Structure formats: structure tokens, C-alpha cells
Structure 1
Amino acid sequence: MSRGDLTDAEWAVLEPLLPVGNNRCGRWRDHRQVINGIIHRLGTGVQWRELSERFGPWKTVHKRHLLWSADGTWERLLQHVQAVADAEGDIDWNINLDSTVVRTHQHAAGARTVHLLKGGGHKDRFSTGRRRGEPARPAGGGGAAGEALGRSRGGLTTKIHIAAEGRCRPLPLLITPGQRADCTQFEPVMDIIRVPRRRPGRLRRTPDSVSADEAYSNGKIPAYLRKRGIRHVIPEKKDHKAARLRRGSHGGRPPGLDKDRYKDRNTVERAIGRLKQFRAVATRYDKRGYVYLGTVTATALLIWLRS
């Protein structure tokens, strides 16, 4: 996976979709130069202030990434590229789900938040909440889970939940604290599968089939998939199988398992490997959950452009 600057062909795809005209602080600096700086940071994990001068002022590159992570620009760009691929029949809708845990750098902890005081004043303190005035992000970037930071024996971690299509490219992305169970995020991941149509019509939200490992063998998940009419391949856990056998005829029939289809689950592992080739994804340096989600989404966009 190349981590260099945008090629002319890649820039031709992105240029018509980027904001034009003036921003609040004057004219936009060259988008291509700024995106190249963001790509360099994605690949190397370098501190923003250490970016090369050829990308322009580092503060400009940093703030552009923050803004596009907050207003959904990265998501819109990713959806556009996916829509083009779907219109050309280039998406394999036999998808696979999994998650991966990411170690969090110590500098990513301690995001400040602003709390109002009586009389109109305010105070700053370190917390897991979002700063006043920042946009509320979906489940992956904030809410009750704070900044999607979890504690484990190894320290602070974040978990990336991913659904990958059959050509090892990520579709939706969701982040949670590192200790969050995979099965609890199955439905949220499925619910954010949205690929626009190039022609008028509804978004593509239903895959042809779904495969996942034993961590997703919760009884509610097969019921959810059957209700939506989606074929699935999820193996049964050993303890679930033992409990079913103890109940005899009341335990029901064993779930069918298409072993050939289950072998294709390696596509999601390979998609995770592609994401983690980028150091800013493999180790989380972003304090804010929505900014790290933007980092992962921008990386997924680059994978789609270069696949």
C-alpha cells in the first residue's frame, strides 16, 4: 500500500468533491497540498508540528483534518468512492465483520472539556467528555463512552469495529473503548452500512451475506439477520453447543455452517492489516474520538482510491 502523495488520477476523483471558495479565515489553502500532508501524517504517525514545509503550515494541515473529521467530509468522500465502485459492480457484497484493538499513546489521554459554572463562568478540567461547542459525534466518537478510550492491563486502548467487503476494503467503521465486546457492536456496524446509488434510489444497506467469528454468536445476532433476510455464517461457541446438547431435543438444531464461505472471513483480517500499515491508525495519537475516527476514515478512503 503506497503512502505517498496523491496521484493525478486520485486527485481528479477528489477535487470536484472538496469545498471551494472562502472559509471563515480567508481563502482555502491548496487542498491537494494539505491532503498530501495529512497522508504523510497517516503513514508515519509524525507529530503535526514536525510536518515538512512542503505541505505548508502545519497548523493549516492539522486544522483542516480536524474540520473534515468533525463535519463528515471524510465520510462523504468515502461514500462517493464506494458509490462509484458499486455502480461499476466492483463491490463484493459478501461482507465479513471483525474488530481490532489499537494501543493508545499516552499523549492521546486527557482531553479537556469545558463545564459551565453558575453566573456564566466556566472551568476546564481533564475528562472524557467533548469540549463545549464541538459537534456531537456518533457512537464511534463520543457519548457515554467518552472519547472511545478503554482501560486494560496494557493501558489505554481503542477498538475499531469494521465490516469488510469481499475485496478486503472496509465499508463502515466504528470505534469504541478497547474493552467493549464485539457482539454488542454488531447491529451498530450493520446499521451504518450506507452506499449511495449513482442513479436515483435508496442507499444500498443490505449485504448478500455476512460472516463473523465466534465472538458474534450471540443469539440475538442470528435473529437480527434472519429478520432482515440476510444469509449468515457464524460458528457456534463450544459452551453454547454444550448447553444445547444438555437440553436434548429442546435445545434445537445446530446452526448450519458453510465452511467454504467461512474461509472467506480472512478478507476482514486483511482489511485490518491494510489499515494498520498506517502508523497513525496502528497507534492512536488523537485525543478526540471523532478526530481518530476521521483518521481511520481518511485511511479507508486512501485504501479505496488505491485498490
Structure 2
Amino acid sequence: MEYLHIDSTAVIAHQHSAGAKQSGPKLESNNIGCSVGGNSTKIHALVDALGNPVKFMLTEGNRHDGPVALELLKTIQLTGVNVVADKAYGGKAIREFITSQGGKYTIPPKENNREPWSVDWWIYKERHSIECFFNRLKHVRRVATCYDKTSYVFRTFVYAASIVLMTR
């Protein structure tokens, strides 16, 4: 892999997806967070340069992208890989982790950053592949609106929709 794109998208959780019955110990969170727009779930994804998914993670909709990015990036070998992301992933911890693993990053600095770095905007323009991936993924109705009460069922449908998209 030469380029790896990382981003997230919010998925509205339908009102019937909340309130899963807890029988026994809680093994996994339902990943439904309450925000201003209502209940939502976030799909965090790593996508290669061709728009094929590499890794997924579900979180609550009101969770920040930075800490989740570190969790996702720790599962991938980054030697010789250029990680392309938007400004939400420009934190010092993420940038230092990528360089410590032998990778590069193409992440624009925020406007108020005291120590801005240079960005290759020609490489950054290729980030549209992850946006296109999320666009195609949200064409699947079951993924666009989360109706499932448990996160492992919803994650299964995200995987199934990704497989269908990869075969097209």
C-alpha cells in the first residue's frame, strides 16, 4: 500500500435502534451516541488509494476522530505508507505515531496551529477516494440509517455492503 486514507462518517441511528435489552453482562457497547442532531453512530474507516476498505471501527456519534484514528492505525503496518487525512487528524500524537512507524502523512494543519507544516496538495486531492467510498456505502439503506439494536449486527451489514461494493 502506498497511500492510506482515513476518515469517518456519521450515521443516524433510528429511534428503534436504541434500548437494546441487556441480558447478562454487557459485552459490547451499542455505539449509539446522543448529539444535537439526535442519536448517531460513526463509521471510522481506513481505505486504500483505490477506495477499497482496509479496516473499520464503529463508535458513538459524538466521539472525536483523533483517538479512534490512533486505534485504527496501530493495527496496520505503516512502513512506507503515506496516510492522507483531513484536519481533524492533525494532532501531534497522530503525526508522531505515523512517523515513528516509518510512514509519512499528508494532513493539513489547522488554521490556529502555532507550528504549521507543509502539505503536498496534489496528494491531498486524492483523499476524495474515501469520501466516494462513504458515498457508495450510504447508498445501502441499512447502512445509511442504523436500525440495528446491537453494534455487531450493524457492523456485519457494513462489512457486507463493503464486500458488495468491492465486487462491482
The TM-score range, normalised by the shorter chain, is over 0.9
2: CA distance, partners of 1:192 / 1:276: 25
Instruction: Give, in angstroms, the shift of residue 301 of structure 1.
Output: 1.4
Superposed, 1:155-304 pairs within 5 Å as 155-193=38-76, 205-206=77-78, 208-240=81-113, 244=114, 254-304=116-166
Name the structure with the higher strand share. 2
Is 2:14 the counterpart of 1:105?
yes
**Structure 2: any 5+ residue segments left out of the alignment?**
none
SS of the aligned residue for 2:19 comes to: coil
Query: Offset at 1:268?
Result: 0.6
TM (normalized to structure 1)? 0.52
Tell me, in whole angstroms, the C-alpha distance in 2 between the residues paired with 1:149 and 1:280: 15
RMSD over equivalenced CA pairs, Å: 1.5
Classify the secondary structure of the residue corresponding to 1:236.
coil
What one-letter code is carried by the residue in structure 2 that aligns with 1:104? A
The whole-number CA distance in structure 1 between the counterparts of 2:164 and 2:74 is: 23
1:57-115 superposed Cα distances (whole Å, 9 cap, x missing partner): xxxxxxxxxxxxxxxxxxxxxxxxxxxxxxxxxxx531111100000111111101124
State the TM-score, normalized to the length of structure 2.
Answer: 0.93
Q: Alignment length, in residue pairs? A: 167
Secondary structure at the counterpart of residue 44 of structure 2:
strand
State the identity as a percent: 34
Task: Give the whole-Å Cα distance in 2 for the aligned partners of 1:148 and 1:286.
Answer: 11
Distance 2:110 2:65 in 1: 14
Divergent runs of 4+, >4 A: none
1:207-249 CA-partner distances (Å, limit 9, x unpaired): 6211100001111111001100101101110121xxx2xxxxx
State the secondary structure of the residue aligned to 1:264: helix
Q: Distance in 1 between matches of 2:119 and 2:128?
A: 16
Distance, in Å, in 1 between the alignment partners of 2:6 and 2:145 is 21
Separation of aligned partners in 1, 2:158 and 2:103: 27
Quote the Cα distance in structure 2 between the aligned partners of 1:283 and 1:169: 22
How many Å apart are 1:155 and its aligned residue?
A: 1.2
Q: For residues 74 and 99 of structure 2, what CA distance do their matches in structure 1 show? A: 15
